[in-house]
Amino acid sequence: MSLTDAGQTYYDCIRQILVDLEEADALAASASSKLTGTLRINCHIGFGQLQLARLLPLFSREYENIAIDVKLTSKALDLVGEAYDIGIFIGLQNFSSNMISRQLGISEVILCASPGYIKEKGMPQKPEELSSHACLNFDYEQLKHSWHLVGENESKDIAITSKITSNNGELLRYCGLAGMGILMRPSFNLGKDLASGKLVRVLPDYNLGSFSVTLVYPTKRLMPAKVRGFVDFMVRHFPDPERDHWLSSDQNLYE
Protein backbone atom coordinates (compact mmCIF):
# COMPACT_ATOMS: atom_id res chain seq x y z
CA MET A 1 0.00 0.00 0.00
CA SER A 2 1.31 3.47 -0.90
CA LEU A 3 0.05 7.02 -0.58
CA THR A 4 -1.47 8.91 -3.48
CA ASP A 5 0.19 12.16 -4.51
CA ALA A 6 -2.47 14.07 -2.58
CA GLY A 7 -2.00 11.82 0.43
CA GLN A 8 1.77 12.29 0.36
CA THR A 9 1.34 16.07 0.19
CA TYR A 10 -1.04 15.96 3.15
CA TYR A 11 1.40 13.77 5.11
CA ASP A 12 4.30 16.12 4.43
CA CYS A 13 2.23 19.10 5.58
CA ILE A 14 1.18 17.37 8.81
CA ARG A 15 4.75 16.29 9.51
CA GLN A 16 5.96 19.87 9.09
CA ILE A 17 3.23 21.10 11.44
CA LEU A 18 4.40 18.61 14.07
CA VAL A 19 8.00 19.76 13.61
CA ASP A 20 6.90 23.38 14.00
CA LEU A 21 4.99 22.52 17.16
CA GLU A 22 8.04 20.76 18.61
CA GLU A 23 10.21 23.76 17.83
CA ALA A 24 7.64 26.10 19.40
CA ASP A 25 7.72 23.95 22.53
CA ALA A 26 11.51 24.12 22.50
CA LEU A 27 11.43 27.90 22.26
CA ALA A 28 9.01 28.11 25.17
CA ALA A 29 11.15 25.73 27.22
CA SER A 30 14.30 27.71 26.53
CA ALA A 31 12.63 30.75 28.05
CA SER A 32 12.09 28.81 31.25
CA SER A 33 14.74 28.68 33.96
CA LYS A 34 14.31 24.90 34.19
CA LEU A 35 14.78 22.61 31.21
CA THR A 36 12.46 19.61 31.00
CA GLY A 37 11.69 16.64 28.79
CA THR A 38 13.43 13.40 27.85
CA LEU A 39 16.82 13.54 26.13
CA ARG A 40 17.35 10.49 23.89
CA ILE A 41 21.01 9.67 23.21
CA ASN A 42 22.58 7.10 20.88
CA CYS A 43 26.21 6.56 21.93
CA HIS A 44 29.11 4.33 20.91
CA ILE A 45 29.15 1.47 23.41
CA GLY A 46 32.76 1.81 24.54
CA PHE A 47 32.58 5.57 24.94
CA GLY A 48 29.25 5.25 26.70
CA GLN A 49 30.49 2.73 29.25
CA LEU A 50 33.68 4.57 30.19
CA GLN A 51 33.04 8.25 29.44
CA LEU A 52 29.36 9.11 29.11
CA ALA A 53 28.51 7.05 32.20
CA ARG A 54 30.70 9.24 34.43
CA LEU A 55 29.34 12.46 32.89
CA LEU A 56 25.61 11.74 33.11
CA PRO A 57 25.46 12.20 36.92
CA LEU A 58 27.07 15.64 36.50
CA PHE A 59 24.64 16.57 33.73
CA SER A 60 21.69 15.31 35.74
CA ARG A 61 22.66 17.42 38.75
CA GLU A 62 22.87 20.48 36.53
CA TYR A 63 19.61 19.72 34.69
CA GLU A 64 17.63 17.77 37.25
CA ASN A 65 14.32 17.99 35.36
CA ILE A 66 15.63 16.34 32.19
CA ALA A 67 15.12 12.58 31.93
CA ILE A 68 17.78 10.67 29.95
CA ASP A 69 17.25 7.70 27.64
CA VAL A 70 20.57 6.22 26.42
CA LYS A 71 21.08 3.45 23.87
CA LEU A 72 24.63 2.11 23.50
CA THR A 73 25.44 0.56 20.11
CA SER A 74 28.51 -0.45 18.12
CA LYS A 75 27.20 1.34 15.02
CA ALA A 76 25.53 4.70 14.54
CA LEU A 77 21.76 4.61 14.30
CA ASP A 78 19.48 6.79 12.18
CA LEU A 79 18.99 9.61 14.66
CA VAL A 80 16.06 11.21 12.84
CA GLY A 81 14.34 7.98 11.84
CA GLU A 82 14.58 6.56 15.37
CA ALA A 83 13.81 9.87 17.09
CA TYR A 84 17.12 10.42 18.89
CA ASP A 85 18.11 13.90 19.99
CA ILE A 86 21.87 13.37 20.14
CA GLY A 87 24.47 10.92 18.83
CA ILE A 88 28.03 10.42 20.08
CA PHE A 89 30.08 8.57 17.49
CA ILE A 90 33.68 7.36 17.22
CA GLY A 91 35.57 7.60 13.94
CA LEU A 92 34.68 9.28 10.69
CA GLN A 93 31.02 9.11 9.69
CA ASN A 94 29.17 10.17 6.57
CA PHE A 95 26.67 12.49 8.20
CA SER A 96 23.70 13.63 6.13
CA SER A 97 23.11 17.28 5.31
CA ASN A 98 20.30 17.49 7.87
CA MET A 99 22.73 16.73 10.72
CA ILE A 100 25.08 19.01 12.64
CA SER A 101 28.37 17.46 13.78
CA ARG A 102 30.71 18.86 16.42
CA GLN A 103 34.03 17.22 17.19
CA LEU A 104 34.72 16.88 20.91
CA GLY A 105 38.28 15.60 20.58
CA ILE A 106 40.48 12.91 19.13
CA SER A 107 41.42 9.58 20.65
CA GLU A 108 44.77 8.05 19.78
CA VAL A 109 45.08 4.29 19.41
CA ILE A 110 47.73 3.17 21.90
CA LEU A 111 49.48 0.06 23.19
CA CYS A 112 49.34 -0.66 26.92
CA ALA A 113 50.06 -3.38 29.44
CA SER A 114 49.93 -3.79 33.21
CA PRO A 115 53.08 -3.11 35.26
CA GLY A 116 52.93 -6.74 36.39
CA TYR A 117 53.03 -8.02 32.82
CA ILE A 118 55.93 -5.71 31.94
CA LYS A 119 57.85 -6.80 35.04
CA GLU A 120 57.44 -10.46 34.10
CA LYS A 121 57.83 -10.28 30.31
CA GLY A 122 59.84 -7.11 29.80
CA MET A 123 59.08 -3.84 28.02
CA PRO A 124 59.29 -4.03 24.20
CA GLN A 125 61.89 -1.60 22.90
CA LYS A 126 61.04 -1.87 19.22
CA PRO A 127 57.98 -3.01 17.22
CA GLU A 128 59.49 -6.33 16.16
CA GLU A 129 59.57 -7.46 19.79
CA LEU A 130 55.76 -7.47 19.89
CA SER A 131 55.86 -10.76 17.99
CA SER A 132 57.19 -12.52 21.08
CA HIS A 133 54.53 -11.10 23.41
CA ALA A 134 50.98 -12.15 24.21
CA CYS A 135 48.62 -9.69 22.52
CA LEU A 136 45.03 -8.85 23.40
CA ASN A 137 43.37 -8.25 20.08
CA PHE A 138 40.12 -6.71 18.94
CA ASP A 139 38.14 -8.96 16.59
CA TYR A 140 38.63 -6.87 13.47
CA GLU A 141 39.73 -8.30 10.14
CA GLN A 142 42.57 -5.81 9.58
CA LEU A 143 44.03 -6.57 13.03
CA LYS A 144 43.67 -10.34 12.92
CA HIS A 145 47.29 -11.20 12.14
CA SER A 146 49.30 -7.98 12.44
CA TRP A 147 49.43 -4.50 13.95
CA HIS A 148 50.51 -1.48 11.90
CA LEU A 149 52.92 0.92 13.62
CA VAL A 150 54.29 4.16 12.19
CA GLY A 151 57.50 5.65 13.57
CA GLU A 152 59.40 8.80 12.73
CA ASN A 153 61.10 7.25 9.70
CA GLU A 154 59.43 3.87 9.38
CA SER A 155 56.15 2.11 8.90
CA LYS A 156 55.81 -1.54 9.87
CA ASP A 157 53.26 -4.33 9.94
CA ILE A 158 54.16 -6.53 12.88
CA ALA A 159 52.93 -10.12 13.05
CA ILE A 160 51.33 -10.79 16.42
CA THR A 161 50.20 -13.76 18.50
CA SER A 162 46.73 -13.19 19.94
CA LYS A 163 46.36 -14.48 23.48
CA ILE A 164 42.78 -13.18 23.64
CA THR A 165 40.58 -12.05 20.75
CA SER A 166 37.25 -10.36 21.41
CA ASN A 167 34.76 -7.97 19.84
CA ASN A 168 34.34 -6.22 23.20
CA GLY A 169 36.81 -3.53 24.25
CA GLU A 170 35.90 -3.71 27.94
CA LEU A 171 36.69 -7.43 28.07
CA LEU A 172 40.11 -6.75 26.53
CA ARG A 173 40.69 -3.90 28.98
CA TYR A 174 40.01 -6.15 31.97
CA CYS A 175 42.33 -8.82 30.53
CA GLY A 176 45.03 -6.16 30.17
CA LEU A 177 44.53 -5.02 33.75
CA ALA A 178 44.86 -8.66 34.83
CA GLY A 179 48.30 -8.88 33.21
CA MET A 180 47.35 -11.18 30.35
CA GLY A 181 49.19 -9.29 27.63
CA ILE A 182 49.61 -6.12 25.57
CA LEU A 183 46.44 -4.51 24.29
CA MET A 184 45.76 -1.95 21.57
CA ARG A 185 42.79 0.31 22.29
CA PRO A 186 41.68 3.95 21.85
CA SER A 187 42.88 6.27 24.59
CA PHE A 188 39.33 6.97 25.84
CA ASN A 189 39.16 3.28 26.72
CA LEU A 190 42.38 3.34 28.78
CA GLY A 191 43.03 6.92 29.92
CA LYS A 192 41.83 6.44 33.50
CA ASP A 193 43.98 3.32 33.91
CA LEU A 194 47.02 5.17 32.59
CA ALA A 195 46.41 8.08 34.97
CA SER A 196 46.15 5.71 37.95
CA GLY A 197 49.22 3.65 36.95
CA LYS A 198 47.21 0.46 36.49
CA LEU A 199 48.41 0.40 32.87
CA VAL A 200 51.57 1.73 31.24
CA ARG A 201 52.11 2.66 27.62
CA VAL A 202 54.11 0.41 25.32
CA LEU A 203 56.11 1.90 22.41
CA PRO A 204 54.63 5.40 22.94
CA ASP A 205 56.74 6.93 20.17
CA TYR A 206 54.88 4.94 17.53
CA ASN A 207 51.61 6.01 15.93
CA LEU A 208 48.80 3.48 15.49
CA GLY A 209 46.16 5.91 14.22
CA SER A 210 43.42 7.89 15.91
CA PHE A 211 39.65 8.34 15.99
CA SER A 212 37.52 11.45 16.14
CA VAL A 213 34.92 11.72 18.91
CA THR A 214 31.93 13.53 17.43
CA LEU A 215 28.68 14.90 18.82
CA VAL A 216 25.87 14.81 16.23
CA TYR A 217 22.34 16.19 16.33
CA PRO A 218 19.59 16.95 13.79
CA THR A 219 19.41 20.36 12.14
CA LYS A 220 16.38 22.36 13.27
CA ARG A 221 15.45 26.01 12.97
CA LEU A 222 15.08 26.10 16.74
CA MET A 223 17.28 23.72 18.70
CA PRO A 224 15.36 22.11 21.60
CA ALA A 225 16.56 23.58 24.88
CA LYS A 226 17.40 20.14 26.30
CA VAL A 227 19.68 19.49 23.29
CA ARG A 228 21.37 22.88 23.61
CA GLY A 229 21.91 22.22 27.31
CA PHE A 230 23.60 18.87 26.60
CA VAL A 231 25.73 20.24 23.76
CA ASP A 232 26.95 23.12 25.94
CA PHE A 233 27.64 20.70 28.80
CA MET A 234 29.75 18.39 26.61
CA VAL A 235 31.69 21.26 25.05
CA ARG A 236 32.56 22.55 28.53
CA HIS A 237 34.01 19.16 29.43
CA PHE A 238 35.80 18.71 26.09
CA PRO A 239 36.78 22.28 25.12
CA ASP A 240 39.50 21.51 22.55
CA PRO A 241 38.28 19.50 19.52
CA GLU A 242 41.84 18.77 18.34
CA ARG A 243 43.08 17.44 21.67
CA ASP A 244 43.35 13.91 23.00
CA HIS A 245 41.80 14.64 26.39
CA TRP A 246 42.51 11.12 27.68
CA LEU A 247 46.27 11.36 27.20
CA SER A 248 46.43 14.83 28.73
CA SER A 249 47.34 15.69 32.29
CA ASP A 250 43.82 16.97 32.97
CA GLN A 251 42.74 14.94 35.98
CA ASN A 252 39.29 16.59 35.93
CA LEU A 253 38.28 13.87 33.49
CA TYR A 254 38.54 11.29 36.25
CA GLU A 255 37.26 13.14 39.28
Confidence bin at 19 (pLDDT 50/70/90): low
**Does residue 233 have a pLDDT over 70?**
yes
pLDDT tens digits for range 98-120: 888 999 999 999 999 999 999 99
pLDDT tens digits for range 215-229: 999 887 678 899 999
Query: Do 207 and 149 contact (CB within 8 A), yes or no?
Result: yes
pLDDT value at residue 224: 86
Look up the CATH architecture of domain 108-210: 3-Layer(aba) Sandwich (3.40)
Query: Do 129 and 182 contact (CB within 8 A), yes or no?
Result: no
User: Percent of the chain having pLDDT more than 70?
Assistant: 83
Look up the CATH architecture of domain 5-106+212-254: 3-Layer(aba) Sandwich (3.40)
pLDDT value at residue 141: 72
pLDDT value at residue 32: 46
pLDDT value at residue 251: 47
**Does residue 243 have a pLDDT over 70?**
yes
Three-state DSSP class for residue 156: strand
**Does residue 200 have a pLDDT over 50?**
yes
pLDDT tens digits for range 81-100: 888 899 999 986 677 778 88
Q: Where in the chain is the domain with CATH 3.40.190.10?
A: 5-106+212-254, 108-210
DSSP line for 94-152: ---TTEEEEEEEEEEEEEEE-HHHHHHH---SSGGGGGGSEEEEES-GGGSSEEEEE-S
Mean pLDDT of 1-7: 62
**Does residue 8 have a pLDDT over 70?**
no
Average pLDDT over the chain reads 86
